[in-house]
Amino acid sequence: MSENKSITQRELQILNWIKQNPLISQAELAKLANISRSSAAVHISNLMKKGYLRGKGYIISPKNSVAIIGGINFDILGAAERKINPKTSNPGRIRHAIGGLGRNIALNLVKLGVPNYFITVYGNDAEGEMFKQDALKNGMDITYAKQLFNAHTSNYLYLNEASGERFVGLDDMKIFDKLTPEFLTTRLTPVQNSEIVGVDANLPEETLKWLTQNYSGPIFAKAVSLNKTLRFMPILDKIDTLVINSIEVLTLTGITANDERSARYSAEKLFDLGIKNLLIYIDEKGVLYGNRSQLSFLPEPATAINNTNGCGAAATASLIQSRLQHLSFEETAKNAATALYLTAGSYDPVNDELSIELINETKRTFY
In the chain, the domains with their CATH numbers are 1-60 (1.10.10.10), 66-366 (3.40.1190.20)
The pLDDT of residue 187 is: 92
The pLDDT of residue 1 is: 38
Whether 132 has a pLDDT exceeding 70, the answer reads: yes
The pLDDT of residue 192 is: 92
pLDDT digit string (tens) for 163-194? 877 888 888 899 999 999 999 999 998 899 89
Whether 140 has a pLDDT exceeding 60, the answer reads: yes
Task: Report the distance separating Cα 248 and Cα 229, nearest Å.
Answer: 7
Whether 137 has a pLDDT exceeding 50, the answer reads: yes
The pLDDT of residue 255 is: 95
The pLDDT of residue 282 is: 95
Task: Report the distance separating Cα 42 and Cα 167, nearest Å.
Answer: 53
Q: Which residues is 68 bridged to in the sheet?
A: 118, 198
The pLDDT of residue 2 is: 40
Would you put residue 164 in left (φ > 0), alpha (ψ -120 to 50) or beta? left
pLDDT digit string (tens) for 188-211? 988 998 999 999 999 999 999 999
Task: Report the distance separating Cα 229 and Cα 198, nearest Å.
Answer: 15
Helices of type H across the chain: 9-20, 26-33, 37-49, 101-111, 126-137, 181-185, 188-192, 205-214, 226-229, 246-253, 260-272, 311-324, 329-344, 356-366
Whether 293 has a pLDDT exceeding 90, the answer reads: yes
Confidence class for position 3, pLDDT limits 50, 70, 90 = very low
The whole-number average pLDDT for the span 205-222 is: 97
The pLDDT of residue 56 is: 53
pLDDT digit string (tens) for 324-346? 999 999 999 999 999 999 999 99
pLDDT digit string (tens) for 37-82? 999 999 988 888 777 776 555 554 445 689 999 999 998 888 888 9
Q: Which residues is 141 bridged to in the sheet?
A: 117
Residue bearing the bigger pLDDT, 260 or 87: 260
Whether 113 has a pLDDT exceeding 90, the answer reads: yes
First vs last Cα of the chain: how many Å apart? 53
The type of residue at 177 is: D
| Mean pLDDT of all residues belonging to the chain | 91
Whether 5 has a pLDDT exceeding 70, the answer reads: no
- Going by C-alpha positions, the residue among 288, 290, 300 that lies closest to residue 344 is 300
Task: Report the distance separating Cα 217 and Cα 166, nearest Å.
Answer: 34
Would you put residue 163 in left (φ > 0), alpha (ψ -120 to 50) or beta? alpha
Residue bearing the bigger pLDDT, 3 or 146: 146
Task: Report the distance separating Cα 53 and Cα 70, nearest Å.
Answer: 29
Which H or E element spans position 76? strand 73-80
